[in-house]
Chains A and B, each alone.
Chain A
Amino acid sequence: MDEEKIIICRCEDLTLKDIREAISQGCTTLEEIKRVTRCGMGPCQGRTCLPLVAAELSRATGRGIEEILPCTVRPPLMPLKMGTIAGAEDG
């Protein structure tokens, strides 16, 4: 399998090779992979890639997929313009 040609995170242009490298460097959680590679930090906020990364982590570590916890979900759930945030109504 040509892991350089398999795109995992389209937003940040990361391949399966990039993800496997991160795992071989010691990443064992989605949170770590995200911080090291930016996987899941693009416009889709991980909806496309993180399930694939979770499956890869599960394969690599031998942990069940149910043990691979998702990253902490923080607001905002989608990229917002700074102006939108600055212009938020008071409350």
Chain B
Amino acid sequence: MAEILLSTRGLSRDFNGFRAVDDVSLDIRAGTITGLIGPNGAGKSTLFNLLTGMLRPSSGRVTLKGADVTGLAPDALFRKGLGRTFQIPRPFARMSVLENVMMAPVAQSGESLLGPLLFPARVAAEEKRNRERAMAVLEFVTLAKLADHPAGKISGGQMKLLELARVLMGDPAIILLDEPAAGVNPTLTGILIEKIEELNRQGKTFVIIEHDMDFVMRHCDPVIALAEGRVVFEGSAAEAQANPVLLDAYLGSMADA
């Protein structure tokens, strides 16, 4: 089996006595598209925030590439190879699409106050390389034509593609996507998932958090299901589909929703 890239042990988070995530232990293996499902209120978002450093756990540990990263801030996690997108896209609105993407590479020598003043040649060379790579990434997500557009003026679906481009530019080992299909027209969702699967074939690892059961069953393997803050199912997509408890609990509640 492939190595474990990201894992949690006994991860919990309380909010004023309410336990939103309860003793979650899970392993994300390299090269997978792992789906994380659960109805509203199951603790998906809290778990996502714990994994991305937006929240600190009340107890338990998070390990990334074998190193303990419990409680690290989002910026430190990104520098260690964990990228994420947002459920509601957060582009840098009054910047161009290209500049949004060029933000992402870590440790740019021109990012300090003195770098651009003292080493202009080095910074220019780095910018040229980053620009070429950013254009290639934009080409990949079909946004190259919009490179000079204000990022705040493109459609919601294009913003999701832009977020994917931005995070790809930082070249993280694992990418966590928060409801990539939510609020996007089907054509752009199709492009988005096609790109994710292509990247996955090249070896990139993804975790997709979704409450659209159908989407997860079609595109994710394995599947981890949460209910009331706990992991209630962990297995392949085929097993998930054959699991009566899961179908009952989820499809039932999803159908009601």
Q: Is this pair of chains taken from one and the same complex?
A: no
Point out residues on A near B: beta carbons under 8 Å. Answer: none
Point out residues on B near A: beta carbons under 8 Å. Answer: none
